[in-house]
Amino acid sequence: MRVITAKDVLGRIKVAELVPVMEAAMKDISAGEALHPPRFVVPINEAGRMGMMYGALHNPPLHGAKVLSLYPDAPRHGLSSHQGFVLLFESEHGRTVAAIEADALTALRTAAVSMLATRRLGRADPRIFTICGAGEQAEYHLRGALECFEPSEIRIWARRPEAAGDFAARFPDAPVPVRVCTSLVEAITGADVITTATAARSAFLAGADLEPGQHLNLVGASLADMREVDDTAVARMLMFTDSLDSSSRESGEIMEARAAGAIGAAYQVTELGAVLAGAATGRTSATQITGYKSHGLIVQDLAAAWHIAQTLA
């Protein structure tokens, strides 16, 4: 069994090369060709939780598990917020393929799916990208935007302005301006794509401030007791997700908006994989506000892990 560290992955695997890998995985999820049972999340202490995900992918035939320490404040201590491993097996003979450190893999595959959602659900030629957050996911979403699109400007907003400034300063050679915004309204006004990649427990982005035609990638709040946008934002969005099953249990934004009566039984959530396969409709007008709710699935991890293991062989 190979052990592949984050250091092995960083700088050698790009977000853009995982986009077609994630597209195939997302189609298989919506076609029922992948197994992703509910994840386990165990509270450890006030600082964090332990998470476990397991599942299987039919094409290629793979199975495996992911074990993580989920500590949102760990980056302040120079550590990843997602510390752990993805253990990958091939399913023909059950052979162990690799154990891959989870932080870089998770950041890469999450950003790749967001780029895929942006390409399929957003405006045809997005130019202004706003990223809310200054951690790992923010970094890889910035890299993904530069690799997959031709932005004219990337805006950074974080709840701690100094964190946003430090983050932007890490990209002095970016081909486009990377601008820090101290005001969230300023950051999202006129943006084509807004990505929320924070550890927020409660909503910070107001739906009243959104503009027609924008696309949002809701990345940071992946559990039922977390959210990044308010009920008005949810109600205004044409909503998509990676898994309807996961969304029904873990989407804090959607669950709380429904409980508050901001959305009703007719509110539709559509799997991105179904849109990619042509089995469901995505954006149908230039004025719709689209949202992609990311939960993160073991199938995405397995597909990314296989690509990484083969590429770095």
Q: Is the pLDDT of residue 206 over 90?
A: yes
Residue 272 sits in the same domain as residue 166: yes
Share of the chain residues as helix, strand and coil, in percent rounded to the nearest 5:
35, 25, 40
Residue 206 sits in the same domain as residue 247: yes
Residue 55 sits in the same domain as residue 202: no
Cα 304 from Cα 20, distance rounded (Å): 10
The pLDDT tens digits for 99-118 are 999 999 999 999 999 999 99
Cα 192 from Cα 91, distance rounded (Å): 41
Cα 107 from Cα 127, distance rounded (Å): 23
Which DSSP state fits 75?
A: G
CATH classification at residue 43: 3.30.1780.10
Strand 96-101 to strand 49-57: parallel, antiparallel, or no bridges (unpaired)? unpaired
Cα 244 from Cα 152, distance rounded (Å): 34
Residue 19 sits in the same domain as residue 65: yes
Q: Is the pLDDT of residue 119 over 80?
A: yes
The pLDDT tens digits for 52-63 are 999 999 989 999
The pLDDT tens digits for 137-170 are 999 999 999 999 999 999 999 999 999 999 999 9
Cα 281 from Cα 54, distance rounded (Å): 30
Residue 153 sits in the same domain as residue 241: yes
Question: Is the model more confident about 72 or about 9?
Answer: 9
Please name the helix (run of DSSP H) or strand (run of DSSP E) that holds residue 302, with its range, or none: helix 298-311
Is the separation of the CB atoms in 102 and 68 below 8 Å?
Answer: yes
Residue 213 structural domain: 113-296
In the chain, the number of structural domains is 2
Q: Tokens representing 21?
A: 């890998």
Alpha-carbon distances of 33 from 47, 61, 271, 292, rounded to whole Å? 36, 10, 14, 21
Phi, psi at residue 179, to the nearest 5°? -110, 130
CATH classification at residue 255: 3.40.50.720
Confidence of residue 70 (pLDDT cuts 50, 70, 90): confident
Residue 160 sits in the same domain as residue 179: yes
Residue 81 sits in the same domain as residue 125: no
Cα 303 from Cα 306, distance rounded (Å): 5
Cα 137 from Cα 123, distance rounded (Å): 22
Residue 129 sits in the same domain as residue 244: yes
Residue 254 sits in the same domain as residue 119: yes
Residue 229 sits in the same domain as residue 287: yes
Name residue 34's beta-bridge partners: 57
Residue 184 sits in the same domain as residue 101: no
Rounded to two decimals, what is the model's pTM? Answer: 0.94
Strand 49-57 to strand 62-70: parallel, antiparallel, or no bridges (unpaired)? antiparallel
Residue 195 sits in the same domain as residue 165: yes
